[in-house]
Structure 1
């Protein structure tokens, strides 16, 4: 049916960002010309209106294009079914950030467990169910079971480090190892990364994890580990731009890839101007 976009409300805890970027501009232009070609999926809200299960970007683009109504399929479903459908309809999109996948997979895992009736983690039935649930998420997403477990684990990172993962300042495999650090250790690590303008390699992250699990990771230990490999990589030509220093120049909706393109474009313009002056 056609419903007013004003009656369509976001899914609670929706883990996927709706970005007002170039792709959204294209979607809004398409909707202006052809309308919404694929209906969204919604369910009735007890507070009135409808809750979007799939179609957040289509709603945003419709509003952007000045369209007041949007085609949707209305379906009654329980909370856990809605979570599973919401994750499955979004996680295969391009440009999904690691943090978005991490939260989405965790939400889906919890929903699958609730639907099955969660047994105790300590007994063998609980372990089997957990492995079965993770395998189902992996099969649905086309990812390996280990990868799903790693994504779920990086939810344990503090927001500042997770933002660095989204910005590709910290690679995924080191991020997984860092997720085993205690929160206070992660906070110290983040401060050192900003002060030293470095990012941890996989071997550094593994050493930090091992020291943390052995109960011997002090602030000095973290600084020492990070500075050792910094000397080895100082002359590689790599330039790191700390997020805190550049985020003030970009809209919050910009993805790391968009920021990179703008920086490269500005450098290209600077190089042309410099070349003209030298001539």
Structure 2
């Protein structure tokens, strides 16, 4: 049954991050848009203690969007069954390309279903009803492969990746170590994997080719077999030594005075000394095999040390250090040049704007000069110029007076001005009041006509003073409008 619970009560399943990677930014954004527009249509599956089985990404997005409650469906059962539901439900919704997480899901399904290597369920086989109803019965490796969306051979290789140590699994998840190379390294015991990672480092392990990984596995397994064979032979020699020592002691006590037995005693002593020498040699070789086995194999397979190559490598290191210093110098120089370039570009933009303004001014002056050449000045220019200056002065004085008078009018008599702009009165009112209203209306009409004439002259003068700019119109309300 679907119910709604507060988001604050829900908690993620502890195995979710182990089995699944976060969605891609594109997938997450598409789901976020859907939830923001329509809400959560498919309820989350949770346990009775509100642990999320399916819907971890939807829960995260709901918290980001500030949703207070989300729809849920309660599911219950043993922990392994709930973990199985976590994988079964999410495999239908989420695409996880991480091979390690996929390997862990395959390992759980194999263990949960009790699948054995090589088990199969041929087509056409009749499965009993009680087996059909049990989710962990009658399953094969084919079912595991189908559940994770891989072939049976690929699933087998993925299952082997579970034998890698966590550090190497992380390199595979990050795509630094190839799955094929990691598959070969997974056959090594954990202590050899850790030793290999310590010798080569993450970069060296990531750079291993498939062939090198296979050779490392082959050489280390060969040394391991040789060490085991030496250990067995050493144990055998120890037993032979004990037997010969006991036999020598017995013969020495019983047949001391017999020459034939004396020769036998000498032969036994010589044989014992030979076994001692062989035993000492085996112990020495076993110690050599036990000391730095991974390092020796790495040097043999990966490094193959060459004195000439070492000298070249040292020279290359010195050259690399020198190049690094030069690189840092040129990077600093590049940053300085970039800042200088920004300053010069800003100055250039300023100069371009100034040049554009001067070009406009130059064009205007050229037009004026051309006009003066086409229309020569009359002889009385000096007289007209004086008249021009006088008129400009008068216009300036009257403009200032007009501005001051209009300002005082608006400031002191705005209401009367508004009343004069309207026609008041109606039939039946007093004749005196009607005459007063008519006089105000005619007075205001004259005032308005004067303002319109002044405004038109101001526009004409403005067009002469600012050539090339859009024509201005004075609108009611004191605003200007471009044509």
> Normalising to structure 1: TM-score of the pair?
0.67
State the Cα distance separating 1:221 from its structure 2 match: 0.7
1:8 paired to 2:84: no
Alignment-derived partner of residue 83 in structure 1: 83
Question: Structure 1: how far apart are the matches of 2:152 and 2:23?
Answer: 33
Q: Retained in 1: the 8 A contact 2:11–2:51?
A: yes
**89 and 200 in structure 1: CA distance in 2 versus 1, 3 angstrom threshold:** farther
Count the aligned residue pairs.
219
**95 and 156 in structure 1: CA distance in 2 versus 1, 3 angstrom threshold:** same
Question: What aligned pairs does 1:13-24 form with structure 2 within 5 A after superposition?
Answer: 13-14=15-16, 15-17=18-20, 19=22, 22=25, 23-24=27-28
* Gaps in structure 1 of 5+ consecutive residues: 232-269
Q: Retained in 2: the 8 A contact 1:29–1:65?
A: no
Q: Deviations over 1:164-195 (max 9, x none)?
A: 11121111111111111111221222230436
Question: What aligned pairs does 1:21-170 form with structure 2 within 5 A after superposition?
Answer: 22=25, 23-44=27-48, 49-91=49-91, 93-113=94-114, 128=119, 132-170=139-177
SS in 2 for 1:3: strand
State the Cα distance separating 1:218 from its structure 2 match: 2.6
Of the three residues 296, 314, 317, the one matched with 1:220 is 296
Of the three residues 179, 188, 191, the one matched with 1:184 is 191
**50 and 30 in structure 1: CA distance in 2 versus 1, 3 angstrom threshold:** same
Which range moved further: 86-95 or 97-106? 86-95
State the Cα distance separating 1:108 from its structure 2 match: 2.0
Q: Retained in 2: the 8 A contact 1:91–1:104?
A: no
Question: Structure 1: how far apart are the matches of 2:141 and 2:14?
Answer: 23
Q: Which structure carries more helix by proportion? A: 2
Q: Retained in 2: the 8 A contact 1:193–1:199?
A: no
Question: Structure 2: how far apart are the matches of 1:91 and 1:174?
Answer: 27
**80 and 212 in structure 1: CA distance in 2 versus 1, 3 angstrom threshold:** same
Of structures 1 and 2, the one with the larger relative CO (CA 8 A, separation 6+) is: 1
Q: Deviations over 1:219-255 (max 9, x none)?
A: 1212432236xx9xxxxxxxxxxxxxxxxxxxxxxxx
Alignment-derived partner of residue 247 in structure 1: none
**194 and 77 in structure 1: CA distance in 2 versus 1, 3 angstrom threshold:** closer
Q: Retained in 2: the 8 A contact 1:42–1:72?
A: yes
Q: Deviations over 1:111-162 (max 9, x none)?
A: 222xxxx9xx8xxxx8648994322111223311122222221111122211
SS in 2 for 1:136: helix
* Gaps in structure 2 of 5+ consecutive residues: 121-136, 225-292, 310-334, 343-483
Question: Structure 2: how far apart are the matches of 1:205 and 1:58?
Answer: 41
Q: Deviations over 1:17-75 (max 9, x none)?
A: 5648624354334322221122222222xxxx322211111111111221122222222
**194 and 53 in structure 1: CA distance in 2 versus 1, 3 angstrom threshold:** closer
State the Cα distance separating 1:105 from its structure 2 match: 1.6
Alignment-derived partner of residue 281 in structure 2: none
SS in 2 for 1:36: coil
Question: Structure 1: how far apart are the matches of 2:138 and 2:194?
Answer: 31
**99 and 74 in structure 1: CA distance in 2 versus 1, 3 angstrom threshold:** same
SS in 1 for 2:19: coil
Q: Which has the larger radius of gyration?
A: 2
Q: Retained in 1: the 8 A contact 2:47–2:53?
A: yes
Question: Structure 2: how far apart are the matches of 1:184 and 1:18?
Answer: 28
> Normalising to structure 2: TM-score of the pair?
0.40
SS in 1 for 2:303: helix
